[in-house]
Structure 1
Amino acid sequence: MKKIDSIPTNKVERVAKLVTTGVKVGGNYLKYYGEKVVNPNLTKDKLHENNAADIYDGLKELKGSALKVAQMLSMEKNLLPQSYVEKFSLSQFSVPPLSAPLVRKTFKNYFKKYPEELFDEFAPDSINAASIGQVHQAKKYGKDLAVKIQYPGVRESISTDIALVKPIAVRMFNLQGTSDEYFQEVEDKLTEETDYQLELKQSEAVRKECEVIENLKFPSYYPELSSDKIITMDWMKGVHLSEFCKTEVSQDKRNKLGQTLWNFYMFQIHQLKKFHADPHPGNFLVDDQANLIAIDFGCMKQIPDSFYKPYFEVSTPSALANADYFKEKLVELEILKPTDSTKEIEFFTAMFHELLTVFTEPIHKPEFDFANPVFFGKIAALSEKFANDKQLRKMNGNRGSKHFIYVNRTFFGLYNLMFDIKAKIKINDFEKYLS
């Protein structure tokens, strides 16, 4: 794989890269429409494939929050054509790494020492490279270690990347009026992910608080070998979650892994009220006993009680059956607004009732089989329905508390992982760990 010797960090460079990418995408459309004149039955499959490749190629050179967008989109299996999902999934743990000279320079800049001065052994080539940093193998204290190094300029480019994405998102999702708090929430979380000292503290806290959960493992961390831009932890043996899902394993192992993942998230959400908000396969390993290994806690989301209570109250069967109570909770969650017209109130009440009726189906049953394609078919059908809803496009899509962004993202990500695992689990099993 080609290595990267530099990353565009200033606004002009990053805008130029995105403009170049846009020109390529525009060319793909022109080619498609030209061919369609000759062949009216031509599908958009090749167009999507070419666009996905060009967009990903542009983002992977920018890395940082730009590539993180691709990583987040790769989890939205029901919202994107499959070619985008497949290409963007590469951003989860497999992108072009930094070259060895740039790694040494980066290490010297951030730690004031070269890696060989700190470790007994240090592999110059990375094992994994993702959106914000890449991982190298090292040895010290007689142990195998994983050393994650942050790419140069990632934190400094976040504001620029958000500013570039914002007008596109506002247009795509019809975010009329103020949407600043949404983008500020994303910017704040991305900024936290670039603070490796914070990640070190969060990782240790989660490890201690969640050690009661069976079949769940965490690496130990080494503060003396970590800094703002470098974090060192135990090297954990296992395969990435996505690789595990592709292998031929017994249903018992799939159920064991799925139950552990579900219990891990439900315990965090309902006990700690703070949870790992980046549920993509690159953040989890699976060992040969089907134990789950959690390895990245850069993105954590705190849920305030003012959001937690109505969020879970609105999704109960009794709430869904009580129209007045349901509307009351939608107001608390800022989905319905004081300025809404009668038409808007009726539309969004019906829309969210339909969404929640489907989305909360798993938590209303004692057991749920995430291998059942019917449930995910319902979600896909709703996604397609609302994506093509002309009435929705005319209405203000700026709906809901800012806390929805990472809470909903986490549930969607968790559901997708559970579907990939094909696990059948006991929904309330996590309650045995609650205090």
Structure 2
Amino acid sequence: MKTQNHIPTSKVARASQFVKAGVKVGGNYLKHYGKKLLDPELTKEELHQDNATDIYKALSELKGSALKMAQMLSMDRSILPRAYIDQFAMSQYSAPPLSGPLVVKLFRTYFGKTPQQIYDQFDMNAVNAASIGQVHQAWKDGKKLAVKVQYPGVADSVSSDLRIAKPLAIRLLNLNEKDINRYMGEVESKLLEETDYELELTRSMYISEQCASIPNLVFPTYYPDLSSKRILTMDWLDGFHLKDFLKTNPSPEIRDRIGQALWDFYNYQIHDLRQVHADPHPGNFLMRPDGTLGVIDFGCVKVIPDFFYDNYFRLINFDTLDDDRATMEIFRNLEFIVPEDSPKEQAFFADLFKKMIVLLGKPFATQTFDFGDNTYFDTVYAFAEDLANVEELKNSKVARGSQHGLYINRTYFGLYSMLNELKAKVVTHKPDWLISRRLRLEMQNAG
């Protein structure tokens, strides 16, 4: 893979890269409509492919929050055309890596030594390169290690990158500025946390220890003495990323075992720890033929405030939806309904969000759920497409939903997506208070 010898770090250089991407997108539109004059039946597939390629090339050279946005978007099949999904998915673990001299320079900056002076052996060729950093293999004291090295300038460019990228995001995603601004602070804070490897080290060790007893999960050991604010060292875990794992044609039993481990991992983090690995994309998991699951990269962790947790998850117990007064109170608490809404708007949005909760909360309403059911996911994606075209939402004076929901919703979307690709059937473990009366009765009758 071609390496990258330089990353633009100044605001001017990075802004220029965004501008170049925007110009190329504009040129692609002109080219598309010129061809369409000659061929009225021409679809937008070629346009999407050209745009996706040009935007990804620009973002992959910038690294950091710019590439992270592509990674986040690649998880959402309801927002972007397929060409973008396929191209942006590369940011999960196959972006262009840094060259050797840049890697050595980083080690000298943070340790005062070269990697060869720190480890018994260090492979200068990165095995994975993603949005915030890249991973190298190393060996020390007989142990095979994974060493995550952060790209230079990433931490310092988060805020300015998000401001520069906002117009491109508005144009690409067809969002309005108030929707973008609503959640910019939440995204910015999480991206800044992801660049702090000392914080990631602390969280990695804590969550790994707390979740160690969950069946079929495997966590690496972390090494504080070999880590710093921009370099993180841990045990090397063997395994396949999801796409490559599926090529091995695993049995349904193995798929279910891994799927169950994923569900139980997230169930425990959210409901017991109240903090969660909020970046559930395939690049952060290693799947094994024996049905065990390696979990890596705790850079993005969402700490769930009690007020948000209590309101958000009360809706997952569908008994709550039978109580209109309680439901409306929660909708106001979660900012689904806002003080400016007229009675007519309140009724409209309450009905809309009830439908959304029933659909997305369906796995919680049963003892087991077949995530291989594509009919369910087709319904979810169709609902998302319809939601994007709801005039009342488009014309609403405010963006709806607590900013805390941004990463929790993203977490469940990523979890559901991976379980769907695994075609896994899982027991949907949940806290006792989330079990509805109907489900409890079913469980009693079955027992």
Shorter-chain TM-score category?
over 0.9
- Alignment check: 8 A CA contact 1:175 1:396 kept: no
- Alignment check: 8 A CA contact 2:364 2:430 kept: no
Q: 1:430 to 1:96 in 2, by over 3 A?
A: farther
**Could you tell me which residue of structure 1 aligns to residue 418 of structure 2?**
417
Q: 1:246 to 1:165 in 2, by over 3 A?
A: same
| Counterpart amino acid of residue 111 in structure 2 | F
Q: Quote the RMSD (CA, aligned, Å).
A: 1.6
Separation of aligned partners in 2, 1:396 and 1:234 = 50
| Counterpart amino acid of residue 340 in structure 1 | D
**How far apart are residue 53 of structure 1 and its match?**
0.7
Q: 1:333 to 1:429 in 2, by over 3 A?
A: closer
**Could you tell me which residue of structure 2 aligns to residue 62 of structure 1?**
62
Q: 1:176 to 1:346 in 2, by over 3 A?
A: farther
| Counterpart amino acid of residue 14 in structure 2 | R
Separation of aligned partners in 2, 1:226 and 1:162 = 28
Question: What are the superposed Cα offsets for residues 56-107 of structure 1, whole Å, 9 maximum, x if unpaired?
Answer: 0110000000000000000001221111111000000001000111111121
**How far apart are residue 430 of structure 1 and its match?**
8.2
> 2:251 matched to 1:250?
yes
What does residue range 121-200 of structure 1 map to in structure 2 within 5 Å?
121-167=121-167, 172-174=174-176, 176=178, 182-200=183-201
Question: What are the superposed Cα offsets for residues 265-294 of structure 1, whole Å, 9 maximum, x if unpaired?
Answer: 001001111110000011110123120100
- Alignment check: 8 A CA contact 2:18 2:164 kept: no
Q: Secondary structure at the match of 2:263?
A: helix
Q: Secondary structure at the match of 1:214?
A: coil
What does residue range 214-363 of structure 1 map to in structure 2 within 5 Å?
214-363=215-364
Separation of aligned partners in 2, 1:386 and 1:10 = 39
- Alignment check: 8 A CA contact 1:7 1:61 kept: yes
| Counterpart amino acid of residue 5 in structure 1 | N
Separation of aligned partners in 2, 1:176 and 1:239 = 40
Separation of aligned partners in 2, 1:31 and 1:174 = 26
| Counterpart amino acid of residue 128 in structure 2 | N
| Counterpart amino acid of residue 27 in structure 2 | G
**How far apart are residue 193 of structure 1 and its match?**
0.7
**How far apart are residue 321 of structure 1 and its match?**
2.8
- Alignment check: 8 A CA contact 1:166 1:183 kept: no
Q: Secondary structure at the match of 1:198?
A: helix
**Could you tell me which residue of structure 1 aligns to residue 387 of structure 2?**
386
Q: 1:256 to 1:10 in 2, by over 3 A?
A: same
> 2:375 matched to 1:374?
yes
- Alignment check: 8 A CA contact 1:173 1:397 kept: no
Separation of aligned partners in 2, 1:128 and 1:261 = 22
Q: Secondary structure at the match of 1:77?
A: coil
Separation of aligned partners in 2, 1:43 and 1:224 = 56
What does residue range 46-125 of structure 1 map to in structure 2 within 5 Å?
46-125=46-125
| Counterpart amino acid of residue 267 in structure 2 | M
Separation of aligned partners in 1, 2:343 and 2:9 = 48
Separation of aligned partners in 1, 2:375 and 2:307 = 34
**Could you tell me which residue of structure 2 aligns to residue 14 of structure 1?**
14
- Alignment check: 8 A CA contact 1:174 1:395 kept: no
| Counterpart amino acid of residue 371 in structure 2 | F
**How far apart are residue 264 of structure 1 and its match?**
0.2
TM-score, with normalisation over the residues of structure 1? 0.95
Question: What are the superposed Cα offsets for residues 86-135 of structure 1, whole Å, 9 maximum, x if unpaired?
Answer: 10000000010001111111211122111011011011110000000001
**How far apart are residue 296 of structure 1 and its match?**
0.7
**How far apart are residue 388 of structure 1 and its match?**
2.3
**Could you tell me which residue of structure 1 aligns to residue 429 of structure 2?**
428
- Note the residue ranges of structure 1 that are not aligned, 5 or more in a row: none
Separation of aligned partners in 1, 2:348 and 2:25 = 35
Q: Secondary structure at the match of 2:152?
A: coil
Q: Secondary structure at the match of 1:231?
A: strand
**How far apart are residue 167 of structure 1 and its match?**
4.8
Separation of aligned partners in 2, 1:127 and 1:86 = 20
- Alignment check: 8 A CA contact 2:267 2:430 kept: no
**Could you tell me which residue of structure 2 aligns to residue 29 of structure 1?**
29
TM-score, with normalisation over the residues of structure 2? 0.93
Using the TM superposition, name which of 29-38 and 264-273 deviates more: 29-38
Q: 1:128 to 1:430 in 2, by over 3 A?
A: farther
| Count of residues paired in the alignment | 430
| Counterpart amino acid of residue 173 in structure 1 | L
Q: Percent identity?
A: 49
| Counterpart amino acid of residue 63 in structure 2 | K
Separation of aligned partners in 2, 1:287 and 1:7 = 35
Separation of aligned partners in 1, 2:345 and 2:211 = 43
